[in-house]
Structure 1
Amino acid sequence: MKLSPVLLLMAVLCHMPVYASLLSLSSYDLLDSRPEVPARTPNARQEWDDYLLTLKHLENGERVLTWHPQAGQTIYKVAYKTSGGAWTEKLTTDTQFAIDASLSGAVEFKVTGCESELLCRDYGNELSTILDEHNNGFLYLPQYVPGNTAFRVSYTQVADATRYTLQRSKSDNEFKDIANRAHRTGFAQGHYDESVLAAGRYCYRLVTHDATQAARVSAPACTEVDMRTMRTPEHFVAQAQAQGIYKLSWPDVERADYYRLERESLTLVTSESESGSQVTEPAMITADSATRFARSARMVQATPMTEKRTYLKSWQLVGDDKNTDKTQVHTLDTFELSGAQNYRLSACDKQAQCSAPKTLSYTVPVAHMVKGLPESATAQALNQNTVKLNWVDVPGADTYTVTMSRKGAYWQSRYTGITDTSFTQEIYLAGDYRFEIQACLDSGFCGQTSQVGTELRFSLGSNSSMTPSVLVVPERVNPGAAFEIKWAAPRSGEVAQYEVQGELQSTLIKGAFEQGPDGYYAFRRPALPHGRKYCYKVRAWFTTGEAGAYTPTQCVAVGETVFDEVDNFQINHVSRYDFNVSWEAKQGASAYLLELQTRTDDGKIRWQPVYYGEQTRVMQQLGPYHLHHYNRLGHLAMRVSACNSERVCGNHMRAYLRNISTAAFLNPVYLPHKTPACISVPQQIESGEPLSVNWCETQHSGVAKYELLGELQNVILTVTADTARRDMHQLMTTTRNNLEAGREYCYKVRAVYQDGSVSGFTDKVCTQIGPLEYPAPTDFSVKALTEKNHFELSWKIVSGASSYLMEQQTRLGVWQTVPCQLRKVAFGWLACTVQASATQKVPELDKVVYRIAACSRHGKCGNFTRLSFNPNPAPVMYRDSLGNLYQAEQAVGVGAIAYYKRVKGPQGWYWQPLTLSQWQQLALQPIKLNAPSLNVTRK
């Protein structure tokens, strides 16, 4: 039924008993759509309206909870709980729920739609109410209000009321009036439309006034504005469906509109930094640009801005959707973290307010990568000295790496940064070749290696008649013995010179040789470091200027080979500036020697040690020094060999890296490159045995000298790269003799440069000579005594010691025995008194330094413990809130011993003494101030 506005107005003015019919028209007030108002289209799930839950009175006075119908939902579940109680759930097929008359006080309601009695969605609506048990009335409002959203507060009108006052509080007890409403006869409810409120918890209560001016105050009903946080998803799990395929799943979260799934990944971050004009080595010169750069090996570039590229961990969005599961297919592009899979999941509401994330981690083996191998890979010889590789693109791959090795050779050549699915390379040495391909990410990770077909043989179109007809190398020689390499002339052609290559040093000699009486040409080699093989090959240069092919490689073993070549030696570019150099461990190896290939100014190949130690993995960075040699050689090459406890190393394994971008080289210099690359001493030697200390050169040019420090004596050796003795592996070395047994000796090295700069120190390494006599005394400490410049040095007793040796450092590396009268100061502790003043400080340290060792009755002492301190510490300065200055005089090992305030008197500023009680009552802040700089006298 519909009434005209005029009829409605007349009915109201004449108090006609039409209110029962008008009740159905006040749908705005009652939020009731039945039956006269046409029904709205049922909500789809994503349009669930949090403010359609309402309370109303039926004509019979019954209170009901009503809601708008939801699409596809025939069953609804209603939940309610009283203050402090548990949730009670009821199922209904209607869109209203009769409220039990016994319910009173603060009650919360919420509703959800169900597809069946057992399959219900999360609760979407909540209502905060106060039910009045006396007059069947109520006060209600939304339980939660999102930010920047207005809402409505509704209440029941009662028959004996004349007016209503609505009050609001932000703290439950300080209520303020916000609205006054007259009683509207004929209407069951009243409403107050609240404006947008700041975040917080708000409570409302209704004051009902009757004709006698009596007032009834309801209990408060509360709401939270922009405060509710989503509940963190629980039981977030991953289940393997197949190799490399995982299903992530989680239960539904109440009020969640969608779920945000993120995965930890590596993100490229670029930044620019200022730099002035700088001398840089050019990038590796390609054939088409060789002419342009031929006039200069170095060039000056003005680079006002330098781009820095760094890969940082970050969270990448996988998806925002309503599903509670996600299937992850792990192709190469999900392996930035070497197979580690880290996820976080958040539940979000319709206002995009998300819960705290739930994390999940698992690891996918590289072998389980989906479509991770370059498939259908082929290798084709285009001619006698060129190969072409083809393969199918790998999903998610940024670049490809091709590895090439020659049968019988102890090296691998790796070509990185290939962006195409084909690769062509010229072959320079005849032989049988194998090829492998890896798919890689820009961040540095590479997948499994794919073997490419079978071996390919390249003859290089050589004329065998122009190759020396015979090469003779002894199969084995004794350690320390020299030997000869012999060869016979080619079968044709007039030879001008012979070139001998070997020992992993490129050309050993190129020149004219005289034929011996046995018909062979010979080249004599001196004694070489034993424990490994050395290989050689020879070719002829003819008077026509043409060079013949090399002979097949022949090898000689010097002594017994201690170790064969290590397996799986690789140099992988894992991030912009980081190269992971790794190899498999050798059983029985005590250490590994890693060397970098360089080229001298006269063109000779040199292998420079850059690591000697137990690790099988080294992270290498490249700087200007490496770029210089990379441009000279056209590649980055390293070799590694396993060594035994006697420092004898086995056969080398080489790896080559080509096509390195110049952006991978640090500029300016990486400071650790200025420090000597390694230092090594044996862990222990026998008494009377000389001690060998060995260290690597720096990976930077311009070194003037190396300084070896140790034995608690500061610098014990200064050498240059030219004057230093070298061991058989070309590490710089020195021998320390006549060191007293029974204790430990430690060493470290630094480099001093021609420009006067000094590098950092290497790690400290220590060796023990003979059985340890006594361990170093522990808890060596100092405490100032009342007598001026007198100090008590104390330490814990060393079990079995008969005496102690106390020494003071008078200058760097010089120690002087200190007379010490021992006394017991506590159970298990000894002490002695020494005198020390500022004049006894070691200038370079600005402290006095003592050391102590436990000794036997025969005067043989063990390890030292060292102690340094300032005998006259500066006072600690303080300031109060008014700006007044204070100081606390300090004593070593004691702390503050006297307190003063800076005060101005008739004769100027002076320090006024304070008692400890006065000091403790002050509120002071410590400040950095040099007390002697104050023009203040102390009284």
Structure 2
Amino acid sequence: MKLSPVLLLMAVLCHMPVYASLLSLSSYDLLDTRPEVPARTPNARQEWDDYLLTLKHLENGERVLTWHPQAGQTMYKVAYKTSDGTWTEKLITDTQFAIDALLSGAVEFKVTGCESELLCRDYGNELSTILDAHNNSFLYLPQYVPGNTAFRVSYTQVADATRYTLQRSKNENEFKDIADRVHRAGFAQGHYDESVLAAGRYCYRLVTHSATQAVRVSAPACAEVDMRAMRAPEHFVAQAQAQGIYKLSWPDVERADYYRLERESLTLVTSESDSGSQVTEPAMVPADSATRFARSARMVQATPTAPTEKRTYLKSWQLVGDDKNTDKTQVHTLDTFELSGAQNYRLSACDKHAQCSAPKTLSYTVPVAHMVKGLPESATAQALNQNTVKLSWTDVPGADTYTVTMSRKGAYWQSRYTGITDTSFTQEIYLAGDYRFEIQACLDSGFCGQTSQVGTELRFSLGSNSSMTPSVLVVPERVNPGAAFEIKWAAPRSGEVAHYEVQGELQSTLIKGAFEQGPDGYYAFRRPALPHGRKYCYKVRAWFTTGEAGAYTPTQCVAVGETVFDEVDNFQINHVSRYDFNVSWEAKQGASAYLLELQTRTDDGKIRWQPVYYGEQTRVMQQLGPYHLHHYNRLGHLAMRVSACNSDRVCGNHMRAYLRNISTAAFLNPVYLPHKAPACISVPQQIESGEPLSVNWCETQHSGVAKYELLGELQNVILTVTVDTARRDMHQLMTTTRNNLEAGREYCYKARAVYQDGSVSGFTDKVCTQIGPLEYPAPTDFSVKALTEKNHFELSWKIVSGASSYLMEQQTRLGVWQTVPCQLRKIAFGWLACTVQASATQKVPELDKVVYRIAACSRNGKCGNFTRLSFNPNPAPVMYRDSLGNLYQAEQAVGVGAIAYYKRVKGPQGWYWQPLTLSQWQQLALQPIKLNAPSLNVTKK
């Protein structure tokens, strides 16, 4: 019987107090079943389920699956899975699907919209149902429910039922009643609106009560709440299509609405740097104590200074795109080379609600030579006049800046101009000669692409009159090491000369003044003996009484001794981030070390090359500070030179590189603390017995040094010098010679600077040298244990194979050691020990500790390397206070080993120290404090 609208309204109103929330859905079920545009029911589910799958009965009793139309879809694919796990798919053009009358039991339904028979998007949410073919009924609910979301459970009303009980369980274990509903005559379906549930799998079953039949219990239908994660894409691969062009692809993922593709890149992060802050320990806590108890949180405090801006490039994932396609073609232009050609991707599948799967990663490398459109093309060099050049080129896709490199034929230098944002560059030429030019496209993060050669060489004469140039320049081709020599030249063919200027040795002007013409008709300038192993080049020009200067002569070079190495290749200074400059060069076969020097200008205007690195590396990361800015402003450029050196510390020819157009923002301010320490330190790895040892170190890259201290040989400071009093080697490194060092062991050194304001720099790296064959390695596991007798301690170590005896020494003051009598005894297999007495009076004052060292020795008394051990025989407890004012202390018996932790508490008999475990201690937030003696007068339990 079909109800009229009036009767329908009366039925609804009669049930409104109890079933008001079911009004619209019930009305929709009983009104016209085929509206032209199906309306969405006012159910919270429509907010997260676009399809809104629903089961319903038609007037003829047929069961149908319905859904909301999807925009742009001409047909739909319906899939259902029966209890045996079999999936069946049907393509239809309607928005409802008639369910086979014989279909029964647990069934899952899902629907997807299709643009054509071959192009279907991913399935929407599924429906979990229990179908009963016997009485044509069903129980259904969404199979997946997002977190923090309500949903609805629906069921069929059967004619002979009197009431219904809905039961719920978690994971189909124990079902509990959650709702009772009376049978509502005239309504085909009943509903239960579930509240928000915690994540988990929930199952529901319907108990149908009848006056004529026994109670019927349905099979359970289940839903997953906040559990279903998108499956990550599989078989994510990259295939090269052409040089620099790759196709990324992956198979479709079920339920995916789109795919999120990201690429690892470098991102500029700007923040206020705390590098200006100094982390200090409170004055009342000994430094060694704070170090020992560092496991407690927030024990050190930072004294803030004025914040400085810090800009760094950090790796991050950048979105390539959110796309429904399952492939992506990547064209690798310059802007994809932030990681120097390493290409790292991650791919996630996402559903309609932007819930994405765990990412699938993919990595491959693109050679720089395969960069697409990476070279500045159509590059030209044009001489605007006799001393000005203009370069121009086409834009490179993805480039942030350009770098121009200029070099002169026959010269051992390069000049690099960075940070060029235009596609043209004009520069004045200061020296006559033939010039070559190169251009690179670069990223702000520092990576530069391949070098593009600009045309052919250009010759610049600087508009000089050759008759005003000294007519002849004579430099010896080669001189012996340690020999002085003369540079000679003849007067220009015309003009009245006031004086001559001689340049050379990479030192700019060596001399400028009047010269006497010799009997041979030449002018001469005598040079002292120069460091051997390389070439030195010179040029001369004349200054006339008119004030005019003539052009320089062509450069002539002299080799002092045998040239050990030619110039290194590919010497570059690249600005790789705001504060970092990558200085690099190609290795020279046979080189043992490389000497890197920074060009500076003295107060009297002379050029000076200051060593800033001596070692084996061919790449140095250099930061710039106030010291470098000072000389950059004086010189107008940043210049460095490098030479390869042999094992005898003789270095070959220099190669120079100049960096210009540096922004002042690239210079650190305040000073970069490592610049305050000596820039390098060097010793040979090994020398023969009886041979003197040379220790060499660089100056600092900061002004205001009062003195340098060299520490080593387990004797603290062994040498103190100033810049003026320090001996220099032939490369201008500060040096000292250590004589009569006992052979058979290793000696280590480090240096630091003391400044005029009283501050002290950090140390250089520790460097070590071995004199002669090593007698014995240092004993290992040198440790201390307190004994029950006061001030008595057991020192123990592992036995050194082959040793006949051991030398034990105690440090009495810095640099002074005395032998300690030691009665050896075995305490375990492979272990030796001896007992010593140590008290506070034996501490080294500067260290506030007692210090021992031990070495293994042979029968003839020669000893090997030492192992050193320091400890405090009677350390004071370190006191702390929490935010509530409670007192705590941490103590060690001998300054090493296990720490005892206590909290001060009040008991029936007064205050006492309650022991704490390490776990309890680590949960505390404490501040170190200093207490007067009476406050500590409590009992320990």
Q: Point out which structure has higher relative CO (alpha carbons under 8 A, 6+ apart).
A: 2
| SS of aligned partner of 1:18 | helix
Q: Give deviations 1:260-280, integer Å, cap 9, x for gaps.
A: 212222222334579999999
User: Relative to 1, partners in 2 of residues 1:808 and 1:274: Cα closer, same or farther, differing over 3 Å?
Assistant: closer
Q: Which moved more, 1:647-656 or 1:246-255?
A: 246-255
User: What are the superposed Cα offsets for residues 7-46 of structure 1, whole Å, 9 maximum, x if unpaired?
Assistant: 8679999999999999999782289944998899999999
Give RMSD over aligned pairs: 8.9
CA shift for structure 1 position 133: 7.2
Mark the CA change 1:117 to 1:391 in structure 2 (over 3 Å): closer, same or farther: closer
- Check whether the contact 1:284–1:630 (CA below 8 A) recurs between aligned residues: no
**Alpha carbons 2:810, 2:820 under 8 Å: kept:** yes
User: Corresponding residue for 2:683?
Assistant: 681
Deviation at residue 669 of structure 1 after TM alignment:
0.3
Partners of 1:24 and 1:35 within 8 A in 2: no
Out of 618-627 and 351-360, give the one that drifted further: 351-360
State the Cα distance separating 1:248 from its structure 2 match: 1.2
Change (3 A) 1:30 1:83: farther
Cα drift, residue 786 of structure 1: 2.0
> Helix, strand or coil for the counterpart of 2:446?
coil
State the distance in 1 between where 2:552 and 2:236 align. Answer: 64
- Residues 280 and 301 in structure 1, CA contact (< 8 A), matched pair in contact too: yes
CA separation in 2, counterparts of 1:73 and 1:921?
A: 59
CA contact (8 A) 1:279 1:299 kept: no
Contact residue 276 and residue 303 of structure 1 kept, 8 A: no
In structure 2, the CA distance between the partners of 1:812 and 1:88, relative to structure 1 (3 Å rule), is farther
Per the TM alignment, residue 67 of structure 1 is displaced from its structure 2 partner at its CA by 4.6
- Say which is worse superposed, 212-221 or 488-497, in terms of deviation: 212-221
Residues 677-719 of structure 1 deviation map (CA, whole Å, 9 limit, x = unaligned): 0000000000000000000000000000000000000000000
1:168 is aligned to: 168
8 A Cα contact 1:202 1:224, kept in partner: yes
Q: In 2 relative to 1, CA 497–143 (structure 1 residues): closer, same or farther, beyond 3 Å?
A: same
What is the distance in 2 between the residues matched to 1:285 and 1:914?
Answer: 21
- Once residues 645 and 439 of structure 1 are traced to their aligned partners in structure 2, the CA distance between those partners, rounded to angstroms, is 39
Relative to structure 1, is the Cα distance of residues 443 and 747 closer, same or farther in structure 2, using a 3 angstrom cutoff?
same
Q: 1:920 to 1:741 in 2, by over 3 A?
A: closer
**Maintained 8 Å contact 1:261/1:343:** yes
* Structure 1, 384-393 or 661-670: larger mean CA deviation: 384-393
786-795 or 456-465, larger mean C-alpha shift: 786-795
- Quote the residue 1:513 is aligned against: 515
Query: For structure 1, which segment, 921-930 or 138-147, has the greater mean C-alpha deviation from structure 2 after superposition?
Result: 921-930
Cα pair distance change 1:287/1:494, threshold 3 Å: farther
| Structure 1 position 482, deviation (Å) | 0.5
Matched residue SS, 2:859: coil
d(CA) in 1 for partners of 2:77, 2:773: 81
Deviation at 1:386? 0.8
1:719-756 alpha-carbon deviations (Å, 9 max, x no partner): 00110000000000000000000000000000000000
CA contact (8 A) 1:143 1:222 kept: yes
Once the two structures are superposed, residues 632-679 of structure 1 have per-residue CA deviations (whole angstroms, 9 ceiling, x without a partner) of: 000000000000000000000000000000000000000000010000
Task: Report the CA distance between 1:901 and its aligned residue.
Answer: 8.7
Closer/same/farther in 2, CA of residues 5 and 404 from structure 1, 3 Å limit: same
CA distance in 2, matches of 1:805, 1:300: 39
- Shift in CA distance, 824/385, structure 1 to aligned 2, threshold 3 Å: same
Q: Identify the range of structure 1 (270-279 vs 249-258) with the bigger mean alpha-carbon deviation.
A: 270-279
2:299–2:927 CA contact under 8 A, matched in 1:
no
Q: Is the 8 A contact 1:24 1:36 kept in 2?
A: no
Against the structure 1 CA distance between its residues 809 and 47, is the aligned structure 2 distance closer, same or farther, given a 3 Å change threshold? closer
Counterpart secondary structure, 1:689: coil
Distance 1:893 1:281 in 2: 18
Residue 900 and residue 566 in structure 1: after superposition, are their counterparts in 2 closer, same or farther (change >3 A)? closer
Note the C-alpha offset of 1:598.
Answer: 0.1
Deviation, structure 1 residue 183? 2.0
Task: Report if aligned partners of 1:44, 1:71 keep a CA contact under 8 Å in 2.
Answer: no
8 Å Cα contact 1:888/1:896 also seen in 2: no
Unaligned runs of 5+ in 1: none
Q: Check the 8 A contact 1:503/1:535 in 2, yes or no.
A: yes
Segment of structure 1 superposing worse, 427-436 or 917-926 = 917-926
1:106 CA displacement: 4.6
Decide whether the 8 Å contact of 2:471 with 2:490 is kept in 1: yes
Partner in structure 2 of residue 48 of structure 1 = 48
2:473·2:553 contact (CA, 8 Å) conserved in 1? yes
Q: CA deviation at 1:181?
A: 3.8
Q: 1:630 to 1:715 in 2, by over 3 A?
A: same
Residues 324-723 of structure 1: pairs in structure 2 closer than 5 A: 324-723=326-725
Deviates more, 1:548-557 or 1:317-326: 317-326
Distance in 2, Cα, partners of 1:482 & 1:333: 55
CA deviation after TM superposition for structure 1 residue 323, in Å: 1.1
C-alpha spacing 1:525/1:648, structure 2 compared with 1 (3 Å): same
Asked if structure 1 preserves the Cα contact closer than 8 Å seen for 2:80 and 2:87, the reply is: yes
Instruction: Give 1:173 shift.
Output: 7.0
Say if 2:296 and 2:921, in contact at 8 Å, map to a contact too: no
Secondary structure, counterpart of 1:246 in structure 2: strand
Q: 1:17 to 1:869 in 2, by over 3 A?
A: closer
State the 1:915 CA deviation.
Answer: 15
TM-aligned CA distance change 1:45 to 1:775, over 3 Å: same
Contact 2:313 2:577 (C-alpha < 8 Å) held by counterparts: yes
Partner SS state of residue 231, structure 1: coil
Q: Is the CA contact (8 Å cut-off) linking 1:284 and 1:631 kept in structure 2?
A: no
TM-score by length of 2: 0.87
Q: Encode CA deviations 1:348-377: one digit per residue, 9 max, x unaligned.
A: 222222222222222211111111111111
Q: Which moved more, 1:356-365 or 1:600-609?
A: 356-365
The match for 2:802 is: 800
Map Cα deviations across residues 836-890 of structure 1 (whole Å, 9 max, x no partner): 1222222222221111111010000001111112223456889999999887875
- Deviation, structure 1 residue 110: 2.2
Whether the 8 Å contact between 1:342 and 1:362 is mirrored in structure 2 is yes
CA distance in 2, matches of 1:843, 1:293: 22
Instruction: Tell me, yes or no, if the aligned pair for 1:279 and 1:298 is still in contact at 8 Å.
Output: no
Deviation of 1:213 (Å): 11
* More divergent stretch after superposition (1-10 vs 630-639): 1-10
CA drift of 1:794 comes to 1.4
Q: Distance in 2 between matches of 1:789 and 1:750?
A: 36
Classify 1:75/1:624 alpha carbon distance in 2 versus 1 (closer, same or farther; 3 Å).
Answer: same
Preserved CA contact (<8 Å) 2:45 2:151:
no
| Per-residue deviation, residues 902-936 of structure 1 (Å, max 9, x unmatched) | 67699965669999999999999999999985122
Moved more, 594-603 or 107-116: 107-116
Give the distance between the partners of 2:289 and 2:554, measured in 1 at CA: 34
**CA distance change for structure 1 residues 385 and 882 in 2, over 3 Å: closer, same or farther?**
closer
Between 1:293-302 and 1:306-315, the stretch displaced more is 293-302
**Contact 2:875/2:895 (CA < 8 Å) preserved in 1?**
no
Bigger shift: residues 147-156 or 72-81: 72-81
| d(CA) in 2 for partners of 1:917, 1:112 | 55
Aligned counterpart in structure 1 of residue 861 of structure 2, from 855, 859, 874:
859
